Amino acid sequence: MNQNSTIRDLAYIAVFAALYCVLGVVNIPTPLASVPLVLQNGAVIIGAIILGPRRGLLAALLFLVLSAGLPVLAGGRTLIPSLQGATVGYLIAYPIAAFVAGLIAYKAPRTKAGMFTAFAIASVVGLAIQYILGAIGLGFRTDMGFPAAFAMQLGFILPDLPEVIAGIFIAVGVHSAFPDLRPQRRTPQPANA
């Protein structure tokens, strides 16, 4: 890896972490156990399918580090109070979901149809990780219990769907416009006899 690609990677990571911070302002209260509807959940997935597993993971981790001192989480909260609240599972899920979604996305064929398919699978898997860990955190932090916490996640599917669909189209457009964003797969060269 050369110095230019390292600087470029750091810039991508910083830009997406900043985007996640800005999206913390968008916070729609719900009647679902103090868990608001936020754009950060979908943005972390979109970032991962654009950046890939390593940069997506690092952008999510940088966002969490920034949230330790800046009020960029839903409702203008910082990380420490949020780790003690009902949304702890979602915060823990961000880097995990970003890595897994990025890994799936970066295995996509370079055709538009292949990218749409892989990015859709990556988005569904990434959101499932967020929902599952979010429900586990919710079950631990409230009196709700795990079955109710898992059932509550169903209420977030429809609001998250347009965001994820838009993210898939954005990611396909970005990868089509910047094909070098994703490293080329190396094909083995035949050995000379």
pLDDT of residue 53: 97
Residue 189, in any domain of the structure: no
pLDDT of residue 152: 85
Is the model more confident about 92 or about 157?
Answer: 92
Residue 11, in any domain of the structure: yes
Of 101, 82, 102, the residue nearest 91 (C-alpha): 82
Residue 88, in any domain of the structure: yes
Residue 192, in any domain of the structure: no
What pLDDT, in 10s, does the model give residues 97-150? 999 999 999 999 989 999 999 999 999 999 999 999 999 999 988 888 888 888
Is the model more confident about 12 or about 142?
Answer: 12
Which residue range(s) make up the domain with 119?
3-180
Of 19, 50, 31, 141, the residue nearest 88 (C-alpha): 141
User: Which residues face 28 on adjacent strands?
Assistant: 37
- Average pLDDT, integer, range 82-106: 94
Residue 20, in any domain of the structure: yes
Q: Work out the pLDDT band at 193, boundaries 50, 70, 90.
A: very low
- pLDDT at 72 > cutoff 80: yes
Q: Work out the pLDDT band at 90, boundaries 50, 70, 90.
A: very high
Of 14, 53, 52, 13, the residue nearest 182 (C-alpha): 52
- Average pLDDT, integer, range 182-189: 66
Q: Could you give the percent of the chain with pLDDT greater than 90?
A: 59
Residue 86, in any domain of the structure: yes
Residue 56, in any domain of the structure: yes
- Average pLDDT, integer, range 165-184: 92
pTM of the model: 0.88
Residue 37: its H or E element? strand 37-38
Taking every pair of Cα atoms in the chain, the longest distance, rounded to a whole number of angstroms, is: 70
What is the average pLDDT score of the chain? 89
CATH of the domain at 63: 1.10.1760.20
- pLDDT at 158 > cutoff 80: yes
Residue 193, in any domain of the structure: no
- The tally of domains found in the chain comes to 1
